[in-house]
Structure 1
Amino acid sequence: MAQPQPRVLVVTTVHSIYTLIQRTLKAQGFHTTHTISYDEAQTYLEDETHHLIILDLTHTRQQQIDDYHRLRQRTTIPLIVLIDDESEQNNGTIADIVTDDYLYYPFDPENLLSHVRNALRPRQTQATEQPYLHLGTTTIHFDERQAMCNGQKIYLTRTEWKLLEILALHHGKTLTYRTLLQHVWGDAYHDEHSYVHTYISQLRRKLELDPTKPRYLLTEVGVGYRLEASTNSVQSTEEPITTDSTSEKITETPWELTTPHTKLFGRETDIKAIQYLLGQTDVRLLTLTGPPGVGKTRLAQHIAETIKHQFSDGLYTVSLAPLRDHSLVASAITQAIGAKESAHQTLHEALMQTLKGQQALLFLDNFEHVLEAASLITKLIAIAPDLTILITSRTPLRISGEQEYPVPSLTTPDSTIPASLETLAHNPTVALFVRRSQAVKPDFVLTDENAPAVAAICTRLDGLPLAIELAAARSKLFSPQAMLARLDQRLTLLSHNTTDAPARHQTLRAAIDWSYQLLQPEEQRILAGLSVFAGGCTLEAATSVLNNDQQLLPEPPLSTTSLGPDPQTLTMVNHLTTLVDHSLVQVKEDINNESRFTLLETIREYAWEKLGESSKMEQVQQRFADYYLELVEKAAPEFKGSQQVWWLNYLNQEYENICIIIQWMLTEKWILQVLRMGSALWQFWWISGKLSDGNRYLTAMLSHETLSEAHNDKQTRVEWARVLNGAGSISLIQGYYQLATKHFTNALNFWEKLNDEENTAHALNNLGNLSHQQNDYALATKYHMQSLGIRRKLDKVWDIAVSLTNLSFVELDRGNYTQSMTFGEESYTLFQKTDDKWGMGASLNNVGRAALLSRNYDTAITACNKSLKLFQELKSKFGIAHALVNLLRVHLDQQDREQVTIYGQESLLLFKELNDVSGSADCLEAIAEVAISHTRWSQAIHLCSVATKLRNSVNTPRSPSDNIRYEQTLTFTREQLNEDTWQQTWNEGQKMSLEEAIDYALEHVTVNEREVAS
């Protein structure tokens, strides 16, 4: 149940004061009520629940004082009195007011919030017996709760008394911020240093002669405060503060790390590696680096606690997070080791002298924002030969002798491999999520229903422990399934109110913002701009999209040559190096052994927000689109040449970015540009087997609502016709013949009207392929011969090779195996001239199939294996699948069952992934022949039946040669079973879907594999 809004009653006659208070408190979720009358204030208190009163006495009159006393008698609600300055607090009318707190006017919003939050906190009591304390001319009597200076009474609030008492009890010793917070404000408040700062400042104003140069209430920078004073028998009924689960030990010996409550998950390898490094004599300085939220501090704490016994002088630990100035690092370390500055020794000298002969472990947490203090670490290592320093930092120190250990994210479940509940439960990220969920929801358990969602959450959060813990904290409100659906807004979702965590770790956004604020403005701009890259980017892409001038690089350097002297590129190198050093950008090698820069998705979402807040978002997106349009248009002609493999691999690497660009262009109605993308990419989709993606994107382009308006532009019409060519080709492969006919016919009509012979030949070639698939061999031959004639006239070597390959395929299915091999061998020779591996693979596949049907098995195996190798080099799933089917049939004829099993499994899985109906039917019929060889008559009938159903669904009849083998299979089965049984079995096959048929065939092939193995 949600907590009610705190209600604050403000009593003031000055509207501007109320406005300031109301705006400040409203922004923090407080509800305020305003009144100028004390009588009305009493009515409000009777009618409504209020949690705090702020009383304005900045213009004190006796009537106000009288009204205050009447109000105070009627309520015990905490009350803050607003006065002009501290001098007024000591005048005769104010000094006798017994209130909870004073607030001086004018005040800043942060100071107001500190006082309000403190007043609303539950009070703790502390019984003390402390006769008096001398602070120069000021005497403080603890038994009477009275402070006097030269005979004048000084008023202290309840909180100020408590703070002074705890400091007096441990006078001469430094109490940390956390300790003071715990003992004055309560166990739940460990990181609100502003409360301590505010009240120490108030005590100094009241007790010190010169608050700007305190003599008694002294600061130990980055650590806490101590009281130096003369006391008379200062005693307390409480025991002195000692180490427990929530506070540090206050002692003259080295500080020790508080043992964390939480268990580490998945860090066994890291712990061993770090301990090994720290055990090496040449490793004196080890820096754990990593992105925000990866768990550097928690891991370092565990390591330090584990190995501290190996150091005779123990462990010193210093949290550098509170420091705002690198010059204060030495002071913080000095305090931690117990060294003291004196008249004869400076602070640095005391530090060096103390550590010089010690064999100790010094742990410095959060060094990234005080990097200028790295020179101090160099001096410590030089002067203290037995000192080992362990540092956590989002940025390495980059000093001599530093050993860096990048802390990786936790290993997430592999989404590509189905995993059991037990397997997921042992994954470290899942185990962490479950444990933290149980901390807020004790009945939370991992089940078959929620485990996939938990695994997906951990993966989406990049395996970052902080992000996973923050997500698990929401288990009280959301199921894992519901939480997963909300992760698109992960930075908003991932926060909690655990106050013992540092503020920068209480939300994922705060954790990243801590690093972002340490960047220079230009580096912040680069980080925000990198968010447009969904799949990471090369140095050249980052330079082209994010450089400051308005021009794209005319020829992006996409080869693996050296960078050269280009100043924009070198500047980008420097910026990216800084971002990598700050653990905000990840770097890894790409397929060309070049650096590729990526953002974790959590950081990318943060950077995307920053880009959206800037005025550069539209400009960056446009340059992003321009760059990738130029990239794919540069790649398109290379699909026919010697750089085919390189470009296919490169575009696969950039595929996430390409998909985002296409979707953005469609959304922004950039119709000409998106058609150019489609006409450049369709061969990539075809060759790489991304048929469903290609069909989806090309269909979206051709059906876009603005296409009809854009047809008035000639260039748009040309690109439209090219996209028709690609869309028709992919529809043909997928068996959508009616749609392919429409696309090819429209394209042919358009090119003929323009008298464009080259593109007319392309359209005729495609219509020939379509006729071939529908077993109209005469019409297919006619189209291909027309296309070949134009191409020979234009002397287009690659295009001629394509026509010959297609004619080879037609003659193959017509049973003219010798002519098929002749066409195939000629096309292979031409493709060799253009170094087109895909063309060579297709030609060899035809040659191998013709040799198989001619029962020339040696030639068939040689040709098909060469074809398979070429397609594998290209990672062409379509080509690989068809080469495997041919090899399957060759080895089936040779009764090589083991190879048949291997080829059958691989080809079936590829056809399933490609959703290739025609290819799947070919493969299922081949597997049916395998079933016959194992005398599995029912399985053979099932596979033939479903293959026939699939062919009918896409109007793809068998070729004559395939039909002969198919009829032989049916004859064998009819001879083994009676007609009723055979027909019933056939009908069962007709009920199978494509996916069910492939799964059925895979199961059958697997059974055969076990039989061979036995």
Structure 2
Amino acid sequence: MPEARSFGQQLRDYRHQRQLTQAALAEEVGCAVESIRKMEANRQRPSRSLAARLAKILQLSAEQSQIFCAQARVVGTAEVNSAPKPSGLPLTATKLINRQTELATLQTYLNAEHIRMITLTGPGGVGKTRLALQIAQHSHKHFPDGVYFVDLAQASNVADIGLALSQTLNLPSSKYAWQHHIQLHYQQARILLILDNVEQLVSAAEHFRGLLDHTTNLKLLLTSRTLLHCAGEYAIPLTPLSLPTADAKLNELKTNPAVQLFVQRAQTLNPQFALTNHNAEAIKQICWQVDGLPLALELAAARTRLLTPEALVAYLQPPLALLSTNDPTAPARHQSMHNAINWSYQQISPKQQQLLRQLAIFQAGCTLDAIQAIVPNNNQLDLLEQLASLIDHSLLNMQAEAEQPQRFSMLSLIHEFAAQQLAEQAEFPKLAQRHLNYYVMYCESLSQQLFAARQALLPERENIRAAINWAISTQNWVAASSCILPLAEFWYRYGAAEELQMWLAWLSSQPIDSATQARCNEMQGYIAAFLQSQYRDGQAWYQQALAQHQALQQPAAIADNLAKLGEIAMEQGHYAQALEHYRHACSIHEQLGDQASVFAMHDCQAMVLLRQGQFGHAQQLLQQSLDYWQQQQILPSLAFSLNYLGMIAFYQLRLSKAQQAHEQALAIWQTLDDQRGIASALNALAPVLLHQNQIAAALTAIKQSLHIRWSLHDYDGLAWNLERFGEILSKTDQAELALQCWSKAKQLRDELALPLFEAEQKRLQIHIKQAKQQLTSAQAQQLWFSSQNVALAQLIQTLLGLTP
């Protein structure tokens, strides 16, 4: 017996017999070509009248016409059986990735009798339709009378909704009586209506509610970029796929949802495409650049036909223009990310469009205070309502963290779109100036104790950077210096040396006053000495700044410069000079009544005394400071004192006390997310653990410290790491690699003019002697000198790959 043909197959066969194209048939029957295409693909069913008209135009016999019109009622399956099937659902050609949580919530809602309307919300391209179809494919058991999919992307009013629903449900075609027809035919039916793309139909919410009020078991599953705010509406917000972490390795990337989707789509174009160690970093960057949005990932993956992931990264800066496709089967709004975002943009009011554009002046988000200060709007209540509307339309996000002000932000692709719109407006220069003025005041209001302000500063880093760049572009050196110079410590820890030098070079070329010039010189010294370990250059810059502050009679600035010169002298091994600078600075702070700075200078003097072997005096000063830091809860300084007390305890062989102090310091620096502090504590902790025979723990600690310092280009710290690594390797009978570490550390210290102090030298010589005894004298000497030709990066890669 021949297999039954689906309605779509029959329609296509009869059309071919008449030698009609889809366009010709559509013209004769009086419908859209897209409707014929969907019917032949079993994605749409004709109404009774349309089926009869088709049969007449196709010149079917009476018997053929009867079968044809009957078959029109069972679209979506080739055979007729008693098992209920989803009705006219579009096919899903790809696997759904990482929506288990949302699927579980959606299934729970669909199973709950009291929940009748569910809205999947989220930005364009996040995968709302795909998720709705996934749940629909498995819902026919719960909806024995049918699961129906209705695409409302082209609908613009209630009449369009009526026509689309009538055609899908095979009811009499009606623009206005469709609710009545649905009530008559489906009043008791257990059906699920999936209404796709209703964001432009928010005003029709009462009609959707009316469907539920006049039926018993019908349920609605809506996809929309905005909530309808309809009574009984349950929302399931969809966010982009989770992104890989910055340090994610290959195995972790293989399980990351965003990476999985990109690789899966790329493989549909090139089956040989694979995630490898070679392209892993580039694929990670691509996922970040497109926010983890499924549509953006698919569009980016399509470009792998011509570009490697490494090349694609460069083309995606900025990404919006490249994220497009020529696929004729894709809806117009999904043929590019620009179209997807513009679709949402066109659904909001002109006032909301203006606000979205204005918010693009911010980088990486902003606080409500910043918006109220910068965005022109005299009515603050109206501003709040407009912000809420943008959030409802999935164009704006709001994050709230404990004890932090709430922040508003956009996905980077939406921000790029909004920034393009803003750039075309005459209001941009004035808005940029207001943005600059706000962040100048913001920077000036911050305390010099920037560790305490770090939590506030980090989220605003990109806004402050943008403000500085606008000040430079408008030749406003006063504003630029206000955003750069008070934040020297911050830019040192969370900026880049090249960026700072560019800013400072520009500032120095401006007609700045003597005080500003002195502060520029300080920052140049900071970069040279403490970012690049070029202590001689740093010393020269600070000496210039010191002379300028002395001429201006600025005692606090004089003391700060003396402290920096003291640190530089200490690192170069000039301990007497370092103590002189620190004591002079301490005296000035005492005269100024600055108690915190006095104790800070005590800590600095203790660092020098430790290097001189005066452990008792150093411990006394550190303990006094420790008590003060604990009372005042100044955590960075507390961690500093603890770490140095731990070093003294180690040299005195009080190992348990040393371990406790270093671990306490480490915990504080981890809380503060101070990477340099973390690296320092781990470096100091490693030999303590080693001397207690905790070899695996010691190796883990020193590897973590080495990883941080290598990423920060902290060559001074790397020398310490290599020396400590040598100890561990010598202890585990890896004498050759240990000697390589010590040789490279000595080379670094000689290049940077950073001598090792006496107590540490004595310890190190004992370990070096023991390691050399495992080799012949000639072997040890040859290895020591040949190691200096080994690339530092190569050695560090070897060390980071070691396992306990």
TM-score tier (shorter): 0.7 to 0.9
The one-letter code sitting in structure 1 at the alignment partner of 2:115 is V
What residue number does 2:526 align with?
A: 729
Residue 618 of structure 1, CA deviation: 1.9
Residue 506 of structure 1, CA deviation: 2.0
Question: Which aligned pairs between 1:571-970 and structure 2 lie closer than 5 A?
Answer: 571-590=382-401, 592=403, 594-639=405-450, 644-645=451-452, 647-686=453-492, 689-690=493-494, 693-704=495-506, 707-711=508-512, 714=513, 717-734=514-531, 735-832=533-630, 834-857=632-655, 859-970=657-768
SS at match of 1:781: helix
The one-letter code sitting in structure 2 at the alignment partner of 1:627 is Y
What residue number does 2:4 align with?
A: none
- CA–CA distance in structure 2, aligned partners of residues 414 and 856 of structure 1: 39
Does the 8 A contact of 2:542 with 2:565 survive in 1?
Answer: yes
SS at match of 1:803: helix
Q: Tell me, which stretches of 5 or more residues in structure 2 are unaligned? A: 1-13
Moved more, 904-913 or 292-301: 904-913
- CA–CA distance in structure 1, aligned partners of residues 298 and 517 of structure 2: 51
What residue number does 1:445 align with?
A: 273
- CA–CA distance in structure 1, aligned partners of residues 676 and 184 of structure 2: 73
What residue number does 2:196 align with?
A: 365
SS at match of 1:703: helix
Cα deviation, 1:482-506, whole Å, max 9, x if unaligned, reads 3332212433222233333222222
- CA–CA distance in structure 2, aligned partners of residues 633 and 225 of structure 1: 74
Does the 8 A contact of 1:366 with 1:391 survive in 2?
Answer: yes
What residue number does 2:11 align with?
A: none
Cα deviation, 1:215-238, whole Å, max 9, x if unaligned, reads xxxxx9x99995999999983489
Residue 436 of structure 1, CA deviation: 4.4
| CA gap 1:524/1:797 in 2 versus in 1, 3 angstroms | same
The one-letter code sitting in structure 2 at the alignment partner of 1:827 is S
| CA gap 1:708/1:658 in 2 versus in 1, 3 angstroms | closer
Does the 8 A contact of 1:248 with 1:258 survive in 2?
Answer: no
| CA gap 1:695/1:262 in 2 versus in 1, 3 angstroms | same
Residue 447 of structure 1, CA deviation: 6.1
Question: Which aligned pairs between 1:151-190 and structure 2 lie closer than 5 A?
Answer: 163=26, 165-166=28-29, 178-180=34-36
Does the 8 A contact of 1:359 with 1:386 survive in 2?
Answer: yes
More helix by share: 2
Residue 394 of structure 1, CA deviation: 0.8
- CA–CA distance in structure 2, aligned partners of residues 861 and 603 of structure 1: 49
Does the 8 A contact of 1:290 with 1:393 survive in 2?
Answer: yes
- CA–CA distance in structure 1, aligned partners of residues 86 and 696 of structure 2: 68
| CA gap 1:757/1:231 in 2 versus in 1, 3 angstroms | closer
SS at match of 1:389: strand
Cα deviation, 1:258-278, whole Å, max 9, x if unaligned, reads 431512330551434422321
| CA gap 1:510/1:413 in 2 versus in 1, 3 angstroms | same
Q: Tell me, which stretches of 5 or more residues in structure 1 are unaligned? A: 1-123, 130-141, 143-157, 168-174, 192-219, 550-566, 1010-1014
The one-letter code sitting in structure 2 at the alignment partner of 1:283 is I
Moved more, 312-321 or 222-231: 222-231
Residue 954 of structure 1, CA deviation: 0.8
Residue 885 of structure 1, CA deviation: 2.7
User: When the two structures are superposed, what TM-score results if normalisation uses the length of structure 2?
Assistant: 0.87
User: When the two structures are superposed, what TM-score results if normalisation uses the length of structure 1?
Assistant: 0.70
Give 1:529's match in structure 2, choosing from 358, 362, 369.
Answer: 358
Question: Which aligned pairs between 1:154-233 and structure 2 lie closer than 5 A?
Answer: 163=26, 165-166=28-29, 178-180=34-36
| CA gap 1:384/1:653 in 2 versus in 1, 3 angstroms | same
| CA gap 1:482/1:786 in 2 versus in 1, 3 angstroms | closer
Does the 8 A contact of 1:326 with 1:371 survive in 2?
Answer: no
- CA–CA distance in structure 2, aligned partners of residues 957 and 230 of structure 1: 93
Residue 984 of structure 1, CA deviation: 1.4
- CA–CA distance in structure 2, aligned partners of residues 502 and 825 of structure 1: 70
Moved more, 772-781 or 984-993: 984-993
Does the 8 A contact of 1:255 with 1:336 survive in 2?
Answer: no
Does the 8 A contact of 2:118 with 2:221 survive in 1?
Answer: yes
| 1:461 aligned onto 2:282 | no
Does the 8 A contact of 1:294 with 1:407 survive in 2?
Answer: yes
Cα deviation, 1:283-323, whole Å, max 9, x if unaligned, reads 21111111101121222123223313432321333222222
SS at match of 2:698: helix
The one-letter code sitting in structure 2 at the alignment partner of 1:504 is R
Residue 460 of structure 1, CA deviation: 2.0
- CA–CA distance in structure 2, aligned partners of residues 513 and 579 of structure 1: 14
Residue 426 of structure 1, CA deviation: 6.2
Does the 8 A contact of 2:150 with 2:165 survive in 1?
Answer: yes
Residue 521 of structure 1, CA deviation: 1.7
| CA gap 1:724/1:841 in 2 versus in 1, 3 angstroms | farther
| CA gap 1:766/1:468 in 2 versus in 1, 3 angstroms | closer
- CA–CA distance in structure 1, aligned partners of residues 782 and 258 of structure 2: 51
- CA–CA distance in structure 2, aligned partners of residues 342 and 525 of structure 1: 38
Residue 760 of structure 1, CA deviation: 1.2
Cα deviation, 1:545-581, whole Å, max 9, x if unaligned, reads 32436xxxxxxxxxxxxxxxxx62x443322221111
Residue 477 of structure 1, CA deviation: 4.2
Residue 766 of structure 1, CA deviation: 1.3
- CA–CA distance in structure 1, aligned partners of residues 195 and 56 of structure 2: 38
| CA gap 1:760/1:499 in 2 versus in 1, 3 angstroms | same
- CA–CA distance in structure 2, aligned partners of residues 906 and 161 of structure 1: 70
Does the 8 A contact of 2:529 with 2:535 survive in 1?
Answer: yes
Does the 8 A contact of 2:89 with 2:148 survive in 1?
Answer: no
Residue 868 of structure 1, CA deviation: 2.7
What residue number does 1:104 align with?
A: none
The one-letter code sitting in structure 1 at the alignment partner of 2:144 is S
Does the 8 A contact of 2:163 with 2:174 survive in 1?
Answer: no
Does the 8 A contact of 1:265 with 1:428 survive in 2?
Answer: no
Question: Which aligned pairs between 1:131-530 and structure 2 lie closer than 5 A?
Answer: 163=26, 165-166=28-29, 178-180=34-36, 235-236=59-60, 256-267=87-98, 269=100, 270-326=102-158, 328-340=160-172, 346-419=177-250, 428-430=257-259, 432-434=261-263, 436-437=265-266, 441=269, 445-446=273-274, 448=276, 452-530=281-359
- CA–CA distance in structure 1, aligned partners of residues 449 and 367 of structure 2: 20
Question: Which aligned pairs between 1:53-68 and structure 2 lie closer than 5 A?
Answer: none
RMSD over aligned Cα atoms: 3.8
Cα deviation, 1:51-99, whole Å, max 9, x if unaligned, reads xxxxxxxxxxxxxxxxxxxxxxxxxxxxxxxxxxxxxxxxxxxxxxxxx
- CA–CA distance in structure 1, aligned partners of residues 240 and 254 of structure 2: 18
Cα deviation, 1:463-494, whole Å, max 9, x if unaligned, reads 22222333344444444443332212433222
Moved more, 230-239 or 790-799: 230-239
Residue 891 of structure 1, CA deviation: 3.4
Residue 981 of structure 1, CA deviation: 1.2
What residue number does 2:372 align with?
A: 543
User: Which has the greater radius of gyration?
Assistant: 1
Cα deviation, 1:404-449, whole Å, max 9, x if unaligned, reads 11223234444521215xx75665545544554565x556633645
Moved more, 945-954 or 861-870: 861-870
- CA–CA distance in structure 1, aligned partners of residues 106 and 544 of structure 2: 66
